[in-house]
């Protein structure tokens, strides 16, 4: 299936990883590996510093031409990209499953998310509206005008190797910018495959390929993008630690940055909640993508009245999870993406035990399996244990008992990150308190649904150490314009 999938996407065992209207690559050759089996999938030749410099020259030139194209015409190109992506949704979704390790329905769902944001962007291309503002001077008026920034640099992470770029690219293009993309080196084939699909559309329309440039590479290429004045906006998705460095580097040159960083998301289950609904939601939110979404549920606050029954139900549900090859039907939890992630999982389990917590379910590496597999894990631990405040990118769910809603909200808000949160309750009073000024301090505040997943119509992003950036819907488009 691997060779069939690669062939369907125009990929080979060796691929050039730089595109700016032409394909090239003079940096290191990096192999990408299937995390479920350890087999090498293919190799991508990364960008050198010179490659990036040339690519930014091409993108800057393309941006000057593109900004003069009427926005609805730019939307028409994104519409064609949407159709081209939709035509390749199955092989591209399969490649995501092979290279990232998420289960096939999630891989296909991720490509669908790019298709959906492209639909949204096409409509948006006719609605990049400014305001007309009354003037205090007689016979005058003031007008708000939105103009393109120029070049948008997108640095995306391994866990959503298609969708995060899609959110940024579709909006950037209709807003009149050229895009330069550096994907994660461990999902390099996916970056090349997506770029090939977009390049074909641009070439067919006689447009410069540099509008959707690719500069595959590691931290060195990311750092150069952050430093380069030609990159007007750097959209970075990744860890809080790296995001902090990116933000400081970009700020030093007074560039713009859009940051989507760590999440340490909590679900609160009150004593009046629909327990069936909550158990199903938490299972999906904590175990989906093997705990490697930025919106994964990592903390679970249970009201003391329902705590024991709930844990019992949750353990039973966890017992039915199939862990295995993400391409197999019925598998809910695939592998962790790298060996380093497995080590972080083991360290997390050791810290739980050292910090007075207990392992209620799971806690082991599945070393009898070929890939990077671990058991989805439930712990019981104090809300303020240091390990609970640390984001571990693995399926570890910390459970904590609370006695009143104010306490639970305080604990929800006490971590450094502020991405997503959810409250399960049937009380309107508690719901309005939760979404109000004294409720959750996260960017995404849910009620009676899981923390993971996002609708493209709303702005996606978080507060505090999550970085404050917003992508996708609502007024997120304004970050790509001036």
Nearest to 402 by CA among 282, 277, 267, 263: 267
Q: 442: which 2 tokens? A: 């996260």
Distances (CA, A) of 383 to 397, 399, 408, 453: 12, 8, 10, 24
- Specify whether the CB–CB gap between 394 and 361 falls below 8 A: no
Per the annotation, the verdict on 294 as an active-site residue is yes
Query: 80: which residues sit within 8 A by CB, 6+ positions away?
Result: 201, 204, 205
Report DSSP state, residue 46. P
- Specify whether the CB–CB gap between 218 and 46 falls below 8 A: yes
Per the annotation, the verdict on 90 as an active-site residue is no
Report DSSP state, residue 338. S
Radius of gyration of the chain (CA): 23
- Specify whether the CB–CB gap between 374 and 366 falls below 8 A: yes
3-state class of 389 per DSSP?
coil
Instruction: Say what the alpha-carbon torsion angle 407, 411, 413, 416 is, to the nearest 10 degrees.
Output: 160
- Specify whether the CB–CB gap between 276 and 374 falls below 8 A: no
DSSP-derived pairing of the beta strands 132-134 and 40-45:
unpaired
The dihedral of CA 232, 238, 243, 245: what is its sign? Answer: negative
Query: Active-site residue among 106, 110, 260, 465?
Result: 260
For residue 240, how far is the Cα from the chain centroid? Answer: 13
**Start-end of H helices in 253-404:** 275-287, 307-318, 339-354
Q: How many CB atoms lie within 10 A of CB 134?
A: 8
Q: How many CB atoms lie within 10 A of CB 135?
A: 11
Query: Active-site residue among 294, 333, 375, 391?
Result: 294
Report DSSP state, residue 324. S
Longest dimension (CA), the chain: 80
Burial state string for 427-450 with b = 16 or more CB within 10 A and e = fewer than 16:
eeebbebbeeeebbbbbbbbeeeb
For residue 282, how far is the Cα from the chain centroid? Answer: 19
Active site residues: 260, 294
């Amino acid at each position: 299936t691997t060779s069939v999938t690669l062939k369907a996407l125009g990929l080979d065992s060796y691929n050039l990883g730089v595109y700016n209207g032409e394909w090239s690559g003079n940096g290191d050759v990096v192999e990408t590996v299937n995390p479920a089996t350890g087999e090498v999938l293919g190799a991508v030749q990364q960008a050198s510093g010179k490659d990036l410099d040339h690519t930014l020259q091409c993108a800057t030139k393309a941006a000057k031409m593109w900004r003069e194209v009427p926005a609805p015409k730019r939307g028409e190109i994104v519409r064609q990209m949407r159709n081209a992506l939709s035509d390749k949704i199955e092989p591209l979704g399969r490649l995501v499953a092979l290279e990232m390790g998420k289960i096939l329905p999630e891989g296909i769902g991720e490509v669908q998310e790019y298709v959906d944001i492209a639909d949204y962007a096409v409509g948006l291309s006719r609605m990049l509206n400014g305001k007309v503002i009354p003037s205090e001077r007689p016979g005058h008026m003031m007008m708000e005008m939105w103009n393109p920034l120029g070049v948008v640099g997108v640095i995306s992470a391994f866990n959503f190797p298609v969708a995060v770029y899609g959110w940024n690219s579709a909006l950037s293009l209709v807003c009149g910018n050229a895009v330069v993309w550096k994907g994660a080196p461990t999902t390099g084939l996916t970056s090349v495959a997506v770029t090939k699909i977009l390049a074909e559309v641009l070439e067919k329309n006689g447009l410069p390929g540099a509008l959707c440039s690719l500069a595959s590479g590691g931290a060195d290429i990311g750092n150069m993008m952050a430093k380069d004045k030609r990159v007007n906006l750097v959209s970075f998705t990744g860890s809080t630690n790296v995001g902090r460095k990116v933000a400081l580097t970009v700020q030093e040159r007074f560039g713009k940055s859009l940051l989507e960083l760590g999440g340490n998301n909590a679900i609160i289950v009150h004593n009046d909640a629909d327990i069936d609904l909550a158990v199903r939601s938490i299972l999906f939110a904590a175990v989906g993508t093997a705990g490697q979404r930025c919106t994964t549920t990592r903390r679970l606050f249970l009201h003391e009245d329902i705590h024991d029954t709930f844990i019992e139900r949750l353990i039973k549900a966890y017992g039915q999870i199939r862990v295995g090859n993400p391409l197999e039907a019925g598998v809910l939890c695939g592998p962790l993406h790298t060996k380093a992630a497995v080590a972080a999982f083991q360290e997390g389990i050791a810290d739980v035990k050292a910090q007075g917590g207990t392992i209620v379910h799971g806690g082991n590496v599945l070393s009898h399996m070929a890939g990077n597999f671990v058991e989805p894990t439930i712990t019981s631990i104090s809300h303020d244990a240091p390990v609970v405040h640390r984001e571990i990118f693995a399926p570890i769910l910390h459970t904590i008992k609370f006695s009143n809603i104010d306490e639970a909200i305080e604990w929800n808000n006490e971590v450094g990150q502020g991405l997503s949160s959810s409250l399960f309750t049937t009380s309107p009073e508690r719901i309005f308190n939760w979404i109000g000024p004294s409720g959750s301090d996260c960017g995404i505040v849910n009620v009676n649904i899981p923390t993971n997943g996002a609708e493209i119509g709303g702005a996606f992003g978080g507060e505090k150490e999550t970085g404050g950036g917003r992508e996708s819907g609502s007024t997120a488009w304004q970050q790509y314009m001036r």
